[in-house]
Amino acid sequence: MTETLHTPPPESAVIGPVTAPAQEPEKAPRQLKRSIGVVGGTLLTLSCVTPASTLFVVVPDLFSSLGTATALTIAIGALLCVGVAFCYSELGTLIPSAGGEYAMVSTMAGRLAGWLVFVLSLLVVMIVPPVIAMGTADYLAPVVHLDASWAGAGVMLLATLAGLLDLRANAWITGIFLVLEVVAAGVVAVLGFAHTERGVSSLTDLSVAAGSGAGSGDGTKAVTAMLIISGLAIALFVTQGFSTAVYLSEEMENPRKNVARTVLLTLGISAVVLLVPVAAITMGAPDLAALTSGDISGMVAAWSSSGVGTFISLCVALAIINAGIVMVIQNSRVLFASARDKAWPTPVNKVLSRLGGRFGSPWVATLLVGVPGAALCFVNLDTLYGVTGVSVTGMYLLVAVAALLARRGTHRHAPAWRMPLWPGVPVVLVAVLAYVLSQQEATYLLWTGGIVGVATLYWLFYLRPRRDSRWLVTIPEDVRE
C-alpha cells in the first residue's frame, strides 16, 4: 500500500490516519471546492460519455468492420462495463480524489501500479478529446465546409476556454447541450425503427458487407467471434466516460453516496442512449452495404428529408463541442492532481497546481490539456484510435486488480459503497480484459507499451529514489458518511 496524504478539511477534524508526514496548514495540498451533487455530476459525466457524438463519430468505424454485430459488441462491452462500474464505485467512494484511477490504484496496489495507471489515463485523456473533436467538420458540412483537423483544433480551444469557468456553470452549459444530444439520438432511433428493413433477428445475424474485406460470393461475410473480441476494446471506449464521476469526486457533495450513484446512473443512461439508436440503424439500413459504409447522416436524410438531416448534424456538432468541454474539465483535474501529489519536479508541480482565484479551476492544467489537444488533431486518426483502445483496456485491468485489494486492512471497515459479488466481479474482469488486450493489433500494443516502458524508467530513476517527497497521493478528508 502506498503512502497517502490525508488533507484536513478547513473546519473539521481529520478523519482516519495520516500515513505521510503531517504538513503545516499553509503548506497543505490545495483542495478543490465541493459544489455539485448527483444531478450536476450526472450531467457532466453523461456529457463526457457523449453518446450522440460517439454514435456518429466512433460507431461508424465499428459498423464498417462488424456490420450487424456492432450492437451485440457494444452490448457485451456495456455488460463488462457494469463490472468495471462496480469497481469504480467502490474504489471511488473509498478514495474520493481528483486523481481518479491513479489515486485509487496507488492507494490499493502500490505507487508503481498507480503511476502506470496515471500514464495510461493520461494517454486516454489527451487523445480522446481531439479524436471526438475532429468529427465536428463532417456534421457542420450542411452549413459550412471545414477541414477536419482545423475544425477539431478550434473545438479544443473553445472547450479550453469553457473549462476555465466555474464547475457549476459548466454543469448547466453541458446540460443544455446534452438535451440536444439526446434529442438527436432519439430522432435517429425513431426514424430507424420506422423504416425497418429487417427484423430483430438481424442483431444476432452477424454479417458484414464483403466490400470491407474478403467475403463470400453473395457479397457478405460472417463476423467471427475473434473479430468481436478484438472490437471490444473500442466498445469499452465508447462507454468509458462514466469514470468521469470518479475524477469529479473531490468536487462532489457527499461523495460516499453520490459517486456510486453517479457512476451507475450514468452507465445505465448512456448504454440505453447508445444501444437503442445502434439497434435502430442496424434494422433500418437499406442494405448491408449501406450499414457497413457507416454513413449515418446519409441514412437519416434518406429516411426523412435534408432539413431533418441538417438538424441532426448540427445537434451532433454541438454534442461534440459539449464533449470537448467536459473532457477538458476532467483531464485538467487529472493533471492538477498529479502535480499536487508531486509527480513532477518542484517547479512543474507549483505551476500545474495553481487554482484560479475567481472560479477555483486549475487554469494552468486546463491550458496544458486543451492546447496540446488542439495540436493532436493533426495526428493520424487510426493510430489515435488504436492507442486509446489499448490504454482503456489496460487501465480497466489495473482498476479491477485494485478492486480485488480494496478490502484489506483498514479499508475493510471504511465507510464506502460495496459492490455485490465481490471478489467474483473483479476476478472475471481481470481474466476477460487480459484476453481482450492480447487480441489487439501488435502496432498499437507496441506504441502503448513503449510509452509505458518510458514511464517505468521515470519511476525507477526519479520517483522511486524520492519516495518520501514524490508521488504522495492526496486523499481529501472532508467527506460525509
- Nearest Cα to 72, choosing from 223, 219, 211, 186? 223
Check if the beta carbon of residue 210 is closer than 8 Å to that of residue 219.
Answer: yes
Residue 4's pLDDT is 53
Check if the beta carbon of residue 89 is closer than 8 Å to that of residue 289.
Answer: no
**Measured distance CA(440)–CA(449) in Å, rounded:** 12
Residue 167's pLDDT is 53
**Measured distance CA(90)–CA(345) in Å, rounded:** 32
Per-residue model confidence as pLDDT tens digits over 144-170: 888 889 988 998 988 888 777 655 555
**Measured distance CA(364)–CA(352) in Å, rounded:** 6
Q: Percentage helix, strand, coil, to 5, in the chain?
A: 70, 5, 25
Residue 475's pLDDT is 67
Got the DSSP string for 6-29? EEPPTTSPPPS---S----GGGSP
Per-residue model confidence as pLDDT tens digits over 256-290: 778 888 888 888 888 888 899 999 999 998 888 88
Sign for the CA dihedral angle at 193, 222, 434, 57 comes to: negative
Residue 19's pLDDT is 38
Bridge pairing between strands 473-476 and 220-222: unpaired
**Measured distance CA(366)–CA(321) in Å, rounded:** 16
In the chain the domains, ranked by start, together with CATH numbers, are 42-476 (1.20.1740.10)
User: DSSP class of residue 407?
Assistant: T
**Measured distance CA(307)–CA(263) in Å, rounded:** 36
**Measured distance CA(123)–CA(55) in Å, rounded:** 22
Check if the beta carbon of residue 53 is closer than 8 Å to that of residue 139.
Answer: no
Q: How many CA atoms lie within 13 A of 311 on its CB side?
A: 14
User: Where are the strands (E) in 78-176, listed by range?
Assistant: none
CA distances from 10 to 24, 255, 263 (A): 13, 17, 28
- Nearest Cα to 203, choosing from 100, 279, 91? 279
Check if the beta carbon of residue 132 is closer than 8 Å to that of residue 320.
Answer: yes
Residue 446's pLDDT is 94
Centroid of chain to Cα 199: 33
- Nearest Cα to 262, choosing from 440, 38, 13? 38
175 by Cβ neighbours in 10 Å (0-12 / 13-18 / 19+) ranks as: middle
Flag residues of the chain having pLDDT under 70. 1-35, 47-50, 52, 98-99, 165-175, 210-219, 356-360, 474-481
**Measured distance CA(161)–CA(155) in Å, rounded:** 10
Check if the beta carbon of residue 220 is closer than 8 Å to that of residue 208.
Answer: yes
Alpha helices, H only, 26-100: 38-49, 51-57, 59-66, 70-94
> How would you label 210-242 residue by residue, b for 16+ Cβ within 10 Å and e otherwise?
bebeeeeeeebbebeeebbbbbbbbbbbbbbbb
**Measured distance CA(54)–CA(56) in Å, rounded:** 6
Q: How far apart are the first and last CA of the chain?
A: 23
Of all helices (H) and strands (E), which one includes residue 207?
Answer: strand 207-209
Residue 45 in grid coordinates: 459525466
CA distances from 356 to 3, 40, 160, 179, 361 (A): 28, 21, 14, 29, 5
Residue 235's pLDDT is 84
Using alpha carbons only, what angle is made at residue 161 by residues 158 and 167, rounded to the nearest 5 degrees?
Answer: 120
Check if the beta carbon of residue 241 is closer than 8 Å to that of residue 270.
Answer: yes
